[in-house]
């Protein structure tokens, strides 16, 4: 029996994780959850699973939740996420599942590492902004870090018993997102509702927009470098619009291994939660004949400048990745609230990166400070 501490229970990954916990009640026990703006959904989850600790957005929500569930411990905010990540410090038969969106996921990940709790990571922004900190902590603490992101989960499965030195390159596939058929000119006036219609995956709003700009793939390239300790020149991306091949690994002997399945996040989440076992999922069997109709296309960095920004930010290193992420979070938020156009997202990120003076190895506090400075500057302009 594994005890589960779930950050971001109200989100898309959170919800799919709860499905698995519910189906495998003999294998997993939900001890703690967090939510943020969706208070009603958090109440519903709390009522269903009766966890020991719940983390809410602020003290007002705390007061409301305590009234509803007087015996449950309720915490809030940044401190609350840290408390949840390290709750029952001595509990070693546990997983922290990080399904938060945004850089808020970094600090609880670090706190969990420091108590040597194993982590299942969906929150890619953790490694984008704090990969250097996590890499350093890997040398000091014993913990496992299992990727939930579908492409990285596929790569993990493909490389399980392989030597890193035998790997020629990783190939991460990209569906191309909601606007993959459109030219740059046609992107000028696209709407928020169209941007949120991903052709293959049902995901949270932020990652759906990141998929349309291809920033998501940029984040995944950075994530892969840290997860698998590989140089960025060994991580390639390719457009594969059917989202059936989730990633590929090319080896020095000429072999290429590919991971194939229907696009459904239950699979990578279940694999990580049950590793090294595989449990039956509800996902329908894959008909091999579907592979007769798959396509691969070279990635076009001019069509998708955000991917290029991410690669450059990784190469420049240090705090440039915080700037990349902060500018992206603010710009996506402004787009979702109708304050800017789709193509403004990339202009905002490019400008923030151009102006930035790099700090080589930013600490957690420097990352938080820089994140809020960059976001404030951007929000001020579009108020």
Ligand X SMILES: NC(=O)c1ccc[n+]([C@@H]2O[C@H](COP(=O)([O-])OP(=O)(O)OC[C@H]3O[C@@H](n4cnc5c(N)ncnc54)[C@H](OP(=O)(O)O)[C@@H]3O)[C@@H](O)[C@H]2O)c1
The contact mask relative to ligand X for 204-223 (x = CB under 6 A, - = no) is x-xx----------------
For position 246 contacting ligand X by CB under 6 A, the verdict is no
- Contact status, residue 167 vs residue 250, Cβ threshold 8 Å: yes
- State the minimum distance, in angstroms, from the CB of residue 17 to ligand X: 9
Nearer to ligand X, 15 or 351 (CB): 15
The answer to whether residue 372 forms part of the interface with ligand X (CB under 6 A) is no
Q: How far is the CB of 12 from ligand X (least distance, A)?
A: 4
In the β-sheet with 118-121, what is the strand arrangement from edge to edge? 73-76, 53-56, 28-34, 2-7, 94-98, 118-121, 145-147
Q: Work out how close the CB of 360 gets to ligand X at its nearest, in angstroms, rounded to a whole number.
A: 25
Q: Does 37 bind ligand X (CB under 6 A)?
A: yes
Between residues 79 and 252, which has the closer beta carbon with respect to ligand X? 79
Q: String of b and e for 245-277 (b: at least 16 CB within 10 Å)? A: bbbbbbbeeeeeebbebebbbbbbbbbbbbbee
The reply on whether position 371 binds ligand X by CB under 6 A is no
Distance CA 321, CA 309 (A): 10
Provide, rounded to whole angstroms, the least separation between the CB of residue 354 and ligand X: 25
* Residue 330 binding ligand X, by CB under 6 A: no
Q: Is residue 102 within a helix (H) or strand (E), and if so which, with residue range? A: none
* Residue of the chain from 3, 10, 17, 328 that contacts ligand X (CB under 6 A): 10
46 binds ligand X (CB under 6 A): no
Stretch that binds ligand X, among 97-105, 128-136, 166-174, 226-234 (CB under 6 A): 97-105
Cα-based angle 27, 33, 34 (whole degrees, multiple of 5): 155
Please identify the residue of the shown chain whose CB is closest to the bound ligand X. Answer: 11
Neighbours of 310 (CB within 10 A): 27
Q: Dihedrals φ, ψ of 27, to 5°? A: -105, -30
Beta pairing partners, 34: 55
Closest distance of CB 296 from ligand X, Å? 21
Which one of residues 5, 28, 36, 368 is an interface residue with ligand X (CB under 6 A)? Answer: 36
Task: Extract the tokens encoding 366.
Answer: 């420097």
Q: How many residues bind ligand X (CB under 6 A)?
A: 28
Query: What x/- string results for residues 101 through 120 when contact with ligand X is judged by CB under 6 A?
Result: xx-x----------------
What are the CA-CA distances from residue 340 to residues 6, 324, 335, 348 (Å)?
33, 18, 5, 10
DSSP state of 283: P
Tokens of 261: 């399945």
Which residue's CB is nearer to ligand X, number 120 or number 171?
A: 120
CB of 204 to ligand X, least distance (A): 3
Residues 38, 78: Cα–Cα separation, whole Å: 17
Which DSSP state fits 255?
A: -
CA atoms within 13 A on the CB side of 303: 15
Scanning residues 122 to 151, which ones bind ligand X (CB under 6 A)? Answer: 122-125, 149-150
Shortest spacing between CB 188 and ligand X, in angstroms: 26
What would the x/- binding string for ligand X be over residues 144 to 183, using CB under 6 A? -----xx---------------------------------
Binding residues vs ligand X (CB under 6 A): 8-14, 35-38, 99-102, 104, 122-125, 149-150, 201, 203-204, 206-207, 265
């Amino acid at each position: 029996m594994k005890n589960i501490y779930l950050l971001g229970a109200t989100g898309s990954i959170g919800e799919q994780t709860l499905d698995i916990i519910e189906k495998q009640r003999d294998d997993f026990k939900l001890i703690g959850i967090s939510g943020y703006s969706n208070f009603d959904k958090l109440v519903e989850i709390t009522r269903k699973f009766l966890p020991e600790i719940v983390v809410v957005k602020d003290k007002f929500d705390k007061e409301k939740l305590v009234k509803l569930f007087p015996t449950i411990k309720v915490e809030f905010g940044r401190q609350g996420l840290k408390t949840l990540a390290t709750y029952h410090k001595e509990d070693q038969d546990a997983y922290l599942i990080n399904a938060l969106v945004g850089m808020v996921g970094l600090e609880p990940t670090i706190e969990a590492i420091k108590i040597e709790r194993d982590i299942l990571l969906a929150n890619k922004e953790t490694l984008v902004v704090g990969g250097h900190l996590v890499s350093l902590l890997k040398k000091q603490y014993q913990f496992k870090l299992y990727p939930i992101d579908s492409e990285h989960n596929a790569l993990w499965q493909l490389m399980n018993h392989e030597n890193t030195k035998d790997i020629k390159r990783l190939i991460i596939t990209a569906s191309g997102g909601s606007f993959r058929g459109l030219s740059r000119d046609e992107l000028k006036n696209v709407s928020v509702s169209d941007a949120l219609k991903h052709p293959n995956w049902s995901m949270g709003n932020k990652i759906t927009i990141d998929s349309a700009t291809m920033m998501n793939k940029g984040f995944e390239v950075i994530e892969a470098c840290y997860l698998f300790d590989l140089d960025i020149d060994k991580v390639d991306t390719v457009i594969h619009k059917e989202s059936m091949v989730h990633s590929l690994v090319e080896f020095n002997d000429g072999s290429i291994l590919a991971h194939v399945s229907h696009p459904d996040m239950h699979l990578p989440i279940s694999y990580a939660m049950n590793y090294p076992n595989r449990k039956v999922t509800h996902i329908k069997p894959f008909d091999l004949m579907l592979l007769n109709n798959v396509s691969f296309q070279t990635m076009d960095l001019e069509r998708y400048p955000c991917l290029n920004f991410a690669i450059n930010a990784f190469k420049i290193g240090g705090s440039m990745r915080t700037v990349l992420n902060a500018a992206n979070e603010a710009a996506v938020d402004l787009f979702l609230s109708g304050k800017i156009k789709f193509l403004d997202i990339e202009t905002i990120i490019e400008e923030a990166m151009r102006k930035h003076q790099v700090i080589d190895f930013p600490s957690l506090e420097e990352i938080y400070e820089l994140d809020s400075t960059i976001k404030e500057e951007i929000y001020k302009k579009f108020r």
